[in-house]
Structure 1
Amino acid sequence: MTTNQSNGVPRAGAGAERGLSWEEARRLEAQGKSNAGTTVRTRSVRQIVTEHLLTTFNCINLIMALLVAVTGEWRNLLFMGVVLSNLAIGILQELRAKRMVDRLSILTDQPARILRDGEEARVPREGIVLGDVILVSHGDQVPADSTVLWGAASVDESLLTGESRLVPKAAGDELVGGSFVVSGSLGAREARRRRGRPLELRRPERDQRCRLRLGGRRGGRGGARRALGPLRLVPQALGLRPRGRRGLRDRRGPLRARPGARCRARRRAGRPHGARARRVLLRRLRRAGLPVGEPRLLGQVVLRDELRPSAADTMSYFVAQGVELIVISGDDAATASAIAARAGVPRAGAAVDASGLDDETLARSVRSGRVFGRVTPEQKRTLVRALQAEGGTVAMTGDGVNDILALRAADCSVSFACASDAARNVSDLVLADDDFSHMPEVVAEGRRSINNLQRSASLFLVKTVFSTVVAALCVVLPPYPFIPVQMSLVSTAVIGIPSFVLALEPNHDRVSGRFLDNVLRRSLPAAAVISLGLLVALLSRGIDQMSFSESSAMCMAIVSVVGFALVWLICHPLNGLRVALLALVVVVVAGGSLAFPDFYRLSPPSPAMLIVLGAISLASWRLFGRLFERSCSDGRVAGAVVRLMDRMTGGSSHGFAED
């Protein structure tokens, strides 16, 4: 075999019919001329730790801690314990998620086909070395930059160029690693290590999106905005909206079973098998040599796709959740319609043959059609965009190269481990066991995440709002009524502990409304009542000549009472866990204040202070209850705040749980 003198790698034309030998491959791998270590499935440990450490809030907290340390008030550094705990939990959760996703990626990654010693072999993509002859065909992703040796194919290089047009490839042309073979087959020799190929050089400039596999849970990362980044696509796109929920699916992937075909012979002729979801293949049978007599039909072979056993139940679930199911297929519309009807898709008889429709007519037909046949890849994308234009959120399932355009355009794309490389690599969710019946579990997990985060975010936002208001009030009515250690106690009791416990509780209730609206409806009444109560407390301390410790104790009590009231309402309906949570909140606040008054700088309340505190607390509880009920039922104030935020942020404050 002829080699290149500069690097010892076989030239592009040498030994193409045999490829490298296993001995040559081992030598090149030992020299570091392989793809080993270049596959980035998730972010590195260093990236995870750095992203959690170097945040704006951590920098602010560190500066505040240094300023507190300068004053010598070491007790006020208690808040750093919460900061460090949150940091450690976030890092550990994401490292655990990284390990799980990496393991699932190994299970679902398809090996590459290469020639070794003249025979076809399958090796992990990281096992390809320079000079290997790579074999790719319809549906495969090119594992590395290479030069075409033989064959012809149409290749999609949009991951690199951004253009969806197909590029023809023939002998002598360059193949870009990461591109997809749409049609044809090729043999090519690897010409560049992955670290040097164009797609790899562009990787740091792109968002490193980690696809979710079923069974790989992505942990929270310490902040409300960050904790739901990986999970946001699933609940948003899979039917949690009362208006405009669409589920788009290619009929071959989620509905069709994949075991071997079953054959049935029928003696009848002239049956309309196309309308019964059967593809009929007729072949004229002749004797060897000259035909004897007139041709006569001896029989027919009927092929029918078998439905997955769980297909009907899964479709019924989505129908019950109010999801509009639409089936698209490249097959005959009547065939696709019959399969959809067997699977339980509503209005499956509303079939549309898309072969003669232009884009505008096809877009209009989504309002009435539920099954589309003879659909091209471009038309699938047109259907997705038409549904989105009507205000819908679209989830698309597919497993073939012809589904790539639609999968990319959808809000959520779902594929299977057995799907083509192209479909799996562009999908947001890959079902590792090829079982579509797991989709209800995915929806339930998304609902749990959104519902629990809404409750937790309501608690966090209360503190943010009233702290801002009180800080502004104290410019006129100094001093600020709290010291950091006091806020640490209250925040831990009425925010930290409830948020942690409620986030672990299963909650599969259907999501309604928009995320930010739902959070503001719960948090604004509590923040307003706390701010009003603290204003009264600030004014009363000047009248009764309260000491700072007495004033702080009264302000802590007001925040604790309203905070407990918010937790009480959020926990309804009550169960054993929530009752225990409410008791724990009371124990932490009361126990900490009564057991360690000197540590928290609190003074025993005087009779006059008890009267004022009791009146303010009772009024705050009653007022909060009324405002909370009105805010949850009306929502005009929360809506006005959201619209104001939209104008300030250019419409980006809607949140991710919009239904």
Structure 2
Amino acid sequence: MFNLVIGLCALGIILLGRWLDLLFSLAALSNVIIGVIQEYSAKKKLDRIALLNQDDIVVMRHGTPTSIGLTDAVLDDVVVLRRGDQVPADGVVISSQDFEVDESLVTGEADPVAKKVQHTVLSATSVVSGTALMRITGVGHDSHAAQLTLKAREFTTVHSELRAGLEKVAGWITVSLIPLIAITLFGQVMAVGGWDQVLGHGSLETPLISTIAGITTMIPQGLALMTTISFAMAALSLTGKKVLIQEQPAVEILARVDTVCLDKTGTLTEGGILFDAAYRIDPTSGDLTTLRTPTTSATDSTAQPPAWQQVLATIGADPNANPTAIALREHFTQQPDQPLTDHVVFASERRWSAFGFGTPTTGGPAADEVTGGWFLGAPEALISQLDPTLAPVIQQHTTALATNGLRTMVLARAHAGAAHATAEHPWFGDSADLPDRLVPELVLTFGENVREDAAETLNYFRSQGVQLKVISGDSPHTVAAVARAVGWEHDAPASERTQSTAPSLAFDARNLPENDAELAGIMDEYSVFGRVSPDQKKRMVEALRASGHTVAMTGDGINDALALKSADLGIAMGNAAPATKAVSRMVLLDSKFDRLPSVLAEGRKVIANVERLAHLFLAKTAYAFGFVLIFSLLFWQYPLLPRQASTADALFIGIASFLLALMPNPRRYVPGFLHRALRFAIPSGAVIVLALVAINLVGRCYARSFAGELPFFDDPLDALGSPASWDGYVAAAEHVAGAALTMEQLQTATMITLTLTGLWLLNVISRPLNWQKIGILAIMYAGLVLVVAVPFSQWYHQFILPPTPILLASIGIAVAGSLGLELVYRVHNRWLCTHQPEALPAG
């Protein structure tokens, strides 16, 4: 609506041939251009979302493997899937061999999932081991990936309090504009002699120009522009810090956030699995003895390492190794001489892998010890095959280690007397059954590398009053251990903080209630959650928002996309899935969580500075409304041309506001900026209106006194009487006294009063002052002198210096108006001290 009104006013100026008065339209034009570019970029980015790589796929056509484009796949095509392939469509497995897929981008589960015949496979998952044939059951828009993409592509804008406040003000102004335009036009027509005069002599230009000047002054178009520029400058600054802002108001949202939901992997940890320690299992008691940690020295490379080290070296070197096995590579490098004759790939379904070694080709102290079958698996998968007297002890130790957040594995070997314990190792093969008896050798523990900056970053957020939630798909024990590593004990439930042992911080999301009210209670009580499904992530975010929290969430997988979209602010890591980054408002390009404090600082600067500018712009709107309304009701000609009003705005609002918007401002976000701005702006606008009415009243009295109608200041209220042409006053004054107060001189006096009071308004809004702000004020005061005194500016603005009495009156009234503004400022600050002390200016 504002842009429409400004556009119509600009069109009117053009039709009247007053090109020099188009200065007011620049702010609106800039705002439109920036807004269009921003929205076009956002929608274009969403149009480029693609969950699937566009590589060709292999299908069986007429019994022959055939390579086709992804878009050429149709229902019932049989797709050949191998290790490393991305599943191109939804389908059903019709044959498989050691086939496992990584569903982490879809479900959030990090472990591979075994797929057998008749099992469903979803698009956007990837093959991590084995081969399979899959019959397509869903392709194109019907596939799982397409449905996720469709939801992600729904374009929504950030809920910005600043933008919402501006829209509310815009609504109020819009409602009042139509009647006010009519009143203003009527008043300005009457000011030049009435409709008969205007229509009879074709002199509509003057009232139209006055109406346009008044209407354009009312609209706070510069506030919208400065808000947009503030967001853009913050986004540009953050880009240099490896933070991409995908929708500019997102900077504001982080400053308003009171709850941040974090994923463990990639946020608190660097991702990946690290070898922690190897413990020898005592064959008689089951107790553990530390054999190896990452910091202990390895066996002398010239000596033959123990058998268990050679076996672990083989497991780590396996080309099909899962992330846990890969963590062994750096620490165990010397493989045995005897050949690897049998191998069972690790599968999440059975949770163990096996390696069979044949007869050694060369001798060695530990050569014979390696021969046979070795099994590496989760304790619960192997425990039933261990010695019944040792199993409970080993299980107790592994449970204790897991409670500390470590992933535990047991390395065992086939007992020499076990069934099938022959050279051929019959337990290897399609059935992959465990031997009926295993001898436990080691307990291996694995952990995650906690980010060095995680604790410091989290402490920063706590110090700023932001509560933190970890929402992870991993084991609650693992999540709790990482949380403790970064100092999360302070966020444990109250009932657990008094325990002498380390608290079990994490809530198992498998026990979350379905009832939304109960869920909200759990979210308030706990800060760490494990085994959270993608649907639960979304519900948890929505529960927090329903409780009145402003929520930010970090994520990287496709499974996080809808939860990120549900949050007030979605933050994606740089290595996130394309759809996840596309629905996020912000991307940490280098995936470093410690970038967020700088984003918070930028957001606070934007909010605090825009609120400061809102005081300024809304005060301008308030005085413009009162000024235009009073002059129209009194049938006084509006005493400013559009170009003059635009220059006054530039001096105490436009240029200064741009500079103020760039200054640091550490004040925390406090809700209710619009209410605070209006409490200050309306009385400030009233003071400026009184000053402007006063100088115009003095000017009219001055002109009348010289016209012989009224002694100067004898009865100034008589100047409010019946309208008469200003030109008539001027002619009479020239005739009677040989001196005149022309309309140009009154406009100059009005400009001086308006700008001086406006600059004092800028002064009080800029407090506390520093040398930079004092410099800005000094430049603006000097600018006023130049605008009024320089010949070119006088020609452009049609300024003529008024007589000395009027010049002194304009300055004196401006001083009185400044004192009034000072009083308004002090009363407003006293109210803030009483009701919202946290909203007092901080810089």
Q: Same fold (TM over 0.5)?
A: yes
Match of 2:822 among 625, 633, 637: 625
**What is the Cα deviation at residue 498 of structure 1?**
0.9
Matched-pair contact (CA < 8 Å) for 1:239–1:318: no
| TM value normalised by structure 2 | 0.55
- More displaced 10-residue stretch of structure 1: 611-620 or 147-156: 147-156
Name 1:558's counterpart in structure 2: 753
| 1:65 pairs with 2:10 | yes
Tell me how far apart the structure 2 counterparts of residues 223 and 240 of structure 1 sit (CA, whole Å).
21
1:424 matched residue in structure 2: 581
- Of residues 427-436 and 557-566 in structure 1, the stretch that sits farther from structure 2 once superposed is 427-436
The one-letter code sitting in structure 2 at the alignment partner of 1:233 is: A
Tell me the equivalent position of 2:406: 278
Counterpart in the other structure of 1:542? 700
Query: In the TM superposition, what are the counterparts of 1:189-588 in structure 2 within 5 Å?
Result: 206-207=154-155, 223=225, 228=231, 230-236=247-253, 238=254, 240=256, 245-259=258-272, 261-267=274-280, 268=288, 270-271=396-397, 272-287=400-415, 290=418, 295-350=438-493, 351=505, 352-360=507-515, 361-421=518-578, 423-477=580-634, 478-545=636-703, 546-588=741-783
Aligned partner of residue 558 in structure 1, secondary structure = helix
Query: What is the identity, as a one-letter code, of the residue corresponding to 1:613?
Result: S
Asked if the contact 1:330/1:375 (under 8 Å) is kept, the reply is: yes
Are the counterparts in 1 of residues 408 and 444 from structure 2 also a CA contact under 8 Å? Answer: yes
Cα displacement (A) at 1:71: 4.0
Amino acid in the other structure paired with 1:355: R
SS of aligned partner of 1:434: coil
Q: Structure 1 residues 575-584 or 179-188, which shifts more?
A: 179-188
Structure 1: how far apart are the matches of 2:539 and 2:149?
32
Distance 1:422 1:333 in 2: 27
Gap change, CA 1:554 and 1:210, over 3 Å in 2? closer
Cα displacement string for residues 298-336 of structure 1 (whole angstroms, at most 9, x for unaligned residues): 211111122122211211211111111122233343332
Q: Which structure has the larger Rg over C-alpha atoms?
A: 2
Contact 1:490 1:559 in 2 (8 A): yes
Aligned runs of 1:149-188 on 2, under 5 Å?
Answer: none
Whether the 8 Å CA contact 1:150–1:188 is kept in 2: the answer is no
Q: How far has the Cα of 1:388 moved from its partner?
A: 1.8
Q: Note if contact 1:139-1:420 (Cα within 8 Å) is conserved in structure 2.
A: no
The counterpart of 1:604, out of the listed 795, 801, 804, is 801
Q: Secondary structure at the match of 1:207?
A: coil
Kindly state the Cα deviation for residue 131 of structure 1 after the two structures are TM-superposed: 5.1
Tell me the distance in 1 between the aligned counterparts of 2:671 and 2:152: 36
Distance 1:378 1:82 in 2: 45
Q: TM-score under structure 1 normalisation?
A: 0.69
Which whole-Å CA distance do the structure 2 matches of 1:334 and 1:624 have between them?
61
Asked whether the equivalents of residues 615 and 765 of structure 2 are also in contact (C-alpha less than 8 Å), the reply is no
| Cα distance in structure 1, aligned partners of 2:759 and 2:474 | 60
Moved more, 295-304 or 285-294: 285-294
- Alpha-carbon separation, structure 2, partners of 1:203 and 1:294: 52
Answer whether contact 2:744 2:798 (CA < 8 A) is retained: yes
State, as a whole percentage, how many aligned pairs show the same letter.
27
Write the letter of the residue equivalent to 2:10. Answer: A
For 2:472, the aligned partner's letter is S
Cα deviation, 1:389-424, whole Å, max 9, x if unaligned, reads: 221111112233443443232211222232345543
Amino acid at match of 2:261: L
For residues 511-558 of structure 1, the C-alpha deviation after alignment (integer angstroms, 9 at most, x for no partner) is: 223332343344334322111212223333332225423332232122
CA contact (8 A) 2:405 2:478 kept: yes
Quote the offset at 1:374 in angstroms: 3.2
Q: CA, structure 1 residues 277+148, in 2 after alignment: closer, same or farther (shift >3 Å)?
A: closer
Partners of 1:567 and 1:254 lie apart in 2 by 43
Q: 2:349 is matched with which residue?
A: none
2:757 & 2:479 partners in 1: Cα distance? 58
**Structure 1 match to 2:502:** none
| 1:340 Cα deviation after fit | 0.6
State the distance in 2 between where 1:371 and 1:634 align: 40
Question: Could you tell which deviates more after superposition, 220-229 or 449-458?
Answer: 220-229
| Higher mean C-alpha displacement, 406-415 vs 354-363 | 354-363
Distance 2:681 2:82 in 1: 56
Residues 340, 348 of structure 1: 8 Å contact kept: no
Higher alpha-carbon deviation: 290-299 or 552-561:
290-299
CA 1:174–1:581: 2 relative to 1, 3 Å: same
Indicate the SS of the match to 2:485. helix
Cα displacement string for residues 50-102 of structure 1 (whole angstroms, at most 9, x for unaligned residues): xxxxxx545444433343344454443444556566667x389859x959x97
| Letter in structure 2 aligned against 1:609 | I
1:151 positional shift: 6.8
For 1:320 and 1:150, the matched residues in 2 are separated by 52
Distance in 1 (alpha carbons) for counterparts of 2:755 and 2:85: 60
Residue type of the partner of 1:479?
Answer: Q
Q: Which of 789, 804, 807 is the aligned partner of 1:594?
A: 789
CA distance in 1, matches of 2:470, 2:487: 11
Q: What SS is found at the alignment partner of 1:300?
A: strand
Report the Cα offset of residue 281 of structure 1: 2.3
Aligned-CA RMSD value: 4.8
- SS of 2:587's partner is strand
> Which SS does the other structure have where 2:571 is aligned?
strand
Q: 1:574 to 1:406 in 2, by over 3 A?
A: same
Q: AA paired with 2:509?
A: A
Displacement of 1:346 after TM fit? Answer: 4.9
In 2, are the aligned partners of 1:413 and 1:429 still within 8 Å (CA)?
yes
Question: Relative to structure 1, is the Cα distance of residues 565 and 137 closer, same or farther in structure 2, using a 3 angstrom cutoff?
Answer: farther
In the alignment, the residues of structure 2 paired with residue 420 and residue 444 of structure 1 have an alpha-carbon distance, to the nearest angstrom, of: 27
Contact 1:521 1:632 in 2 (8 A): no
Alpha carbons 2:92, 2:121 under 8 Å: kept:
no
User: What is the alpha-carbon distance in structure 2 between the residues aligned to residue 606 and residue 566 of structure 1?
Assistant: 27
CA deviation digits over 1:475-496, x for unaligned, max 9? 2221112111211210111111
Amino acid paired to 2:55: I
Q: In the alignment, residue 354 of structure 1 is paired with which amino acid? A: A
Comparing both chains, which one has the higher relative contact order based on Cα–Cα distances under 8 Å and sequence gaps of 6 or more? 2
Does the aligned pair in 1 maintain the 2:409–2:444 contact within 8 Å?
A: yes
- Superposed CA deviations along residues 442-479 of structure 1, whole A, max 9, x for unmatched, are 22222232233223333332322221221111122211
